[in-house]
Amino acid sequence: MKWYEIIINTTEEANDAISEMLTSIGAGGVAIEDPNDIRRELLKPGTLDYADQEFFDNLGEDVKIKAYFSDDKNVNELIALIDEKISFIGNFLNTGKGYMGYNEVDDEDWATSWKKYYKPVKIAERVVIKPSWENYDASGNDIVIELDPGMAFGTGTHETTMMCSQLLEKYLKEGDSTLDLGCGTGILAIIAHKLGAKDITAVDIDEVAVKVARENCRLNNASSGINILKGILKDVKPFKYDVVIANIIASVIVDISDSMPYYVNKEGYFLTSGIIKERKQDVLDAYTSKGFKVEEILEMGEWVAIAFKCQDSL
């Protein structure tokens, strides 16, 4: 069997949204080459000897996404659909150059070889993400989340997910009721469950995300503790949660600020990321004007995460 390898050049900002879109329209796999990840890795202590300045200069800024579709699809119709979807995403995010071309490749070129590069990784002090086929010897209080990125949108190692995980570790207490808005693969809801949260609701507007989140809950023995819904905030039954998580884009975070006091308990927390640095102040203004207190701000790469405390629930 052959596959179409669709190549898209985009930005770090739009990387996740485009990758998820490609999965939702039927990509059998998505590979991401982010020069910013390479730079961050090479700038770690002890690694600079392996790359000179010319190598850094040649990395460029484009994030390259390769998506794989079975060759029973009409490639011209597929490209037109991808262009249309990227154009829509461009209303909210800088999508960069977009579609660059395609190749025809064999199964073995991509279907399984990528697995050897995906290893367990610690994304917070206690939280470890590991592929389902890898063994990991947990130590101490490690919280291990199993993922199969072959069927999911991402690996759980994006900066926004890492920062949300760190905030959950710090602010979520055992027994806290929790709402995960825009849950994607369900990673944050699963982390909350393993940290001892109760009455967990996870919601996402994307049907594929809901399916993937449910499968990841099953992989992590968390299905009975997490209620996963397809929809948006207004579809969630009104309830005062101790912790609300939202790892979504800044414009939506701002849009839901009027509603958030109705969903967060007094003295509860709203933990949010998916915010590019240029929109940080917009989010801060939207929530402090509603009576939320800024507890902590984290920054990683181009991304920001904020922990708000609800001073006066409605």
State pTM to two decimals: 0.69
**Domain count for the chain:** 2
Q: Does residue 135 belong to any structural domain of this protein?
A: no
Q: Does residue 144 belong to any structural domain of this protein?
A: no
Residue 218: CB partners within 8 Å, gap ≥ 6? none
Q: Are 204 and 183 in contact (CB under 8 A)?
A: yes
Residue 52 exposed, middle or buried by CB count within 10 Å (0-12, 13-18, 19+): exposed
291 and 168 within one domain: yes
Q: Does residue 225 belong to any structural domain of this protein?
A: yes
Q: Does residue 146 belong to any structural domain of this protein?
A: no
> For every one of its 314 residues, what pLDDT tens digit does the chain have, with 9 covering 90 and above?
688 899 999 998 888 889 889 988 888 778 888 776 665 655 555 444 444 444 445 566 788 898 888 888 899 999 999 999 999 999 989 999 999 999 888 765 555 655 665 678 888 889 988 887 788 888 888 899 988 655 444 566 788 899 999 999 999 999 999 999 999 889 999 999 999 999 999 999 888 788 888 989 999 999 999 999 999 998 998 889 999 999 988 989 999 999 999 999 999 999 999 899 999 999 999 999 999 999 999 999 889 999 999 987 65
- How far is 16 from 8, CA to CA, in rounded Å? 13
- How far is 281 from 105, CA to CA, in rounded Å? 45
Q: Does residue 7 belong to any structural domain of this protein?
A: yes
Q: What's the confidence (pLDDT) of residue 197?
A: 96
Residue 204 sits in a domain whose CATH number is 3.40.50.150
305 and 160 within one domain: yes
160 and 294 within one domain: yes
Q: Does residue 61 belong to any structural domain of this protein?
A: yes
Domain end (from 114, 135, 165): 114
Q: What's the confidence (pLDDT) of residue 52?
A: 45
Number of H helices, E strands in the chain: 9, 14
Q: Are 147 and 187 in contact (CB under 8 A)?
A: yes
With b for 16 or more beta-carbon neighbours within 10 A and e for fewer, the 90-110 pattern comes to beebebbebeeebeebeeeeb
Q: Does residue 145 belong to any structural domain of this protein?
A: no
Q: What's the confidence (pLDDT) of residue 137?
A: 82
Edge-first strand order for the sheet with 143-147 is 121-122, 127-131, 143-147
80 and 179 within one domain: no
- Do the annotations mark residue 265 as ligand-binding? no
- Do the annotations mark residue 112 as ligand-binding? no
172 and 92 within one domain: no
**Nearest to residue 202, comparing CAs of 214, 218, 219?**
214
Residue 261: CB partners within 8 Å, gap ≥ 6? 290, 291, 292, 310, 312, 313, 314
Residue 201 exposed, middle or buried by CB count within 10 Å (0-12, 13-18, 19+): buried
Q: Are 229 and 236 in contact (CB under 8 A)?
A: yes
84 and 172 within one domain: no
3-state SS class at 147: strand
- How far is 66 from 84, CA to CA, in rounded Å? 17
Q: Are 157 and 123 in contact (CB under 8 A)?
A: yes
Domain end (from 114, 147, 179): 114
Owning domain of residue 46: 2-114
- Do the annotations mark residue 91 as ligand-binding? no
Query: What DSSP string runs through 241-298?
Result: EEEEEEES-HHHHHHTTTTGGGTEEEEEEEEEEEEEGGGHHHHHHHHHTTTEEEEEEE
Residue 87 sits in a domain whose CATH number is 3.30.70
- Do the annotations mark residue 247 as ligand-binding? yes
Q: What's the confidence (pLDDT) of residue 105?
A: 82
**Tokens of residue 157, six digits:** 């190692």
95 and 187 within one domain: no
233 and 304 within one domain: yes
**Nearest to residue 12, comparing CAs of 82, 91, 94?**
94
185 and 253 within one domain: yes
Q: Does residue 127 belong to any structural domain of this protein?
A: no
